[in-house]
Structure 1
């Protein structure tokens, strides 16, 4: 495979998944480890990716956010497995908060039949919850057209009317130093408020979010349980020093 072809393959995989592992790149490109490491170094010098232990992640702007549609087609199977594990923590009688994210949206199918109350700031979420006959409330406020999330001052005031047994929150970035982050400050404030109003808080995010840091901090790692998938041992050990981790087994 030519140099340019390998570079295109690497970038195509990164754009679809957000993160790639070295061993997977070696397999799909039928190349040596030294060749792939050299490719990653060249692409890092171009500023399009960042090398991390065991692979690489896509460089992302701290303030640009993907739409709900774009999020919903990335890492779909990983999100479903994370969603199933997250939903398994919910018991009858719970009042829960579902953040407006693509992984929290995947939780809804796994909540069918539960005797629970759900509060959400996701327009797509509340429609699906009602369609599946789950007891649901939606926050009032300003709607973000791109992500179908309700945010802003009215939403922050509105959420104070509730208290939650569990909150399930998405994150755009998971960083050992910076904590959980997202591109939008208004959304970060609402995520933080939902954490403060909940007895237990869970971050539901696949490993493509690891090592990323975005503009607005939600809260520190130790303030929530992380539910994720497929970490390498170094990442797992580093995270477990700071927070509780529930990992989907591949």
Structure 2
């Protein structure tokens, strides 16, 4: 198993248990204790976990957010699988909203001009890619956030309130059974809330590592959305399936 695969598995274990032991990592991945320790050190340096004696625990940093470059290197294969399932939910001539973020950016690659879609987005990167694919695109106005390349602010929210969407696709930082869907930035949260309010149906694209995580600002209750995610442990699935519709890839 490659180091990147081991580290992804460690994060998935943490999402399910909140604490993992070194011996469990070695047993699950088939690696040596020294390799597991190196993986934990790398993940701690990335801010993904906190090392403790004999293992690691999940880290809940309420306001921390990676830039697009940092996000683009995380959980790449999971995002692609989630994006494929999300794309299958889109019907011909739908009007959709794509939230800024790498999970929704992965979805862009599966959209086709022949679908005759109208896509509204608050992401400069998404809009550029959609234009390259000859898909009708509306980029809402507002202030550009340099780190995530998202358009945010009161004008953004106001623009979104003029539209209605068949489907809305959102990325999210935290999925929690008590605190709901959360994200670090209040202004990005406001954009997500505005889009959700205009939607017939809302999908949240979130891999297994986002479960049991909490960020600074609540976006919505779990019952308001359908979550498309990677395979969850039975315990995590049972914990959340009573509150929201979960589609595992």
TM value normalised by structure 1? 0.82
- Following superposition, the deviation at residue 60 of structure 1 comes to 3.7
Q: Which residue does 1:13 correspond to in 2?
A: 7
> 1:159–1:59: structure 2 CA closer, same or farther, 3 Å change rule?
same
* Kept in 2: contact 1:180–1:218 (CA 8 A): yes
> 1:90–1:210: structure 2 CA closer, same or farther, 3 Å change rule?
same
Q: Which residue does 2:97 correspond to in 1?
A: 97
| Higher relative contact order, chain-length normalized (CA < 8 Å, sep 6+) | 2
Q: Which residue does 1:5 correspond to in 2?
A: none
Secondary structure of the 1:29 match is: coil
Q: Which residue does 2:232 correspond to in 1?
A: 231
Secondary structure of the 1:238 match is: helix
> 1:120–1:25: structure 2 CA closer, same or farther, 3 Å change rule?
farther
* Kept in 2: contact 1:19–1:56 (CA 8 A): no
Secondary structure of the 1:90 match is: coil
User: Which aligned pairs between 1:5-154 and structure 2 lie closer than 5 A?
Assistant: 13=7, 18-20=11-13, 25-26=26-27, 27-30=29-32, 48=50, 58-113=58-113, 114-154=115-155
Gaps of 5+ in 1: 1-8
- Following superposition, the deviation at residue 24 of structure 1 comes to 5.1
Gaps of 5+ in 2: 15-19
Q: Which residue does 2:217 correspond to in 1?
A: 216
Partners of 1:215 and 1:228 in 2: CA distance = 22
Q: What CA deviation, in whole Å up to 9, does each residue of 1:155-203 have, x standing for no partner?
A: 0111111100000000000001100000001111110110110000000
* Kept in 2: contact 1:202–1:225 (CA 8 A): yes
* Kept in 2: contact 1:17–1:74 (CA 8 A): no
Secondary structure of the 1:200 match is: strand
Secondary structure of the 1:110 match is: coil
Partners of 1:56 and 1:232 in 2: CA distance = 19
Partners of 1:177 and 1:146 in 2: CA distance = 29
Q: What CA deviation, in whole Å up to 9, does each residue of 1:197-229 have, x standing for no partner?
A: 000000001111111100000000000000000
Secondary structure of the 1:111 match is: coil
Q: What CA deviation, in whole Å up to 9, does each residue of 1:78-106 have, x standing for no partner?
A: 10000000010001010000000111000
Secondary structure of the 1:218 match is: strand
| Superposition CA RMSD, Å | 2.6
Q: Which residue does 2:194 correspond to in 1?
A: 193
- Following superposition, the deviation at residue 115 of structure 1 comes to 1.3
* Kept in 2: contact 1:94–1:117 (CA 8 A): yes
Secondary structure of the 1:150 match is: strand
- Following superposition, the deviation at residue 112 of structure 1 comes to 1.8
Q: Which residue does 2:168 correspond to in 1?
A: 167
* Kept in 1: contact 2:95–2:167 (CA 8 A): yes
* Kept in 2: contact 1:17–1:208 (CA 8 A): no
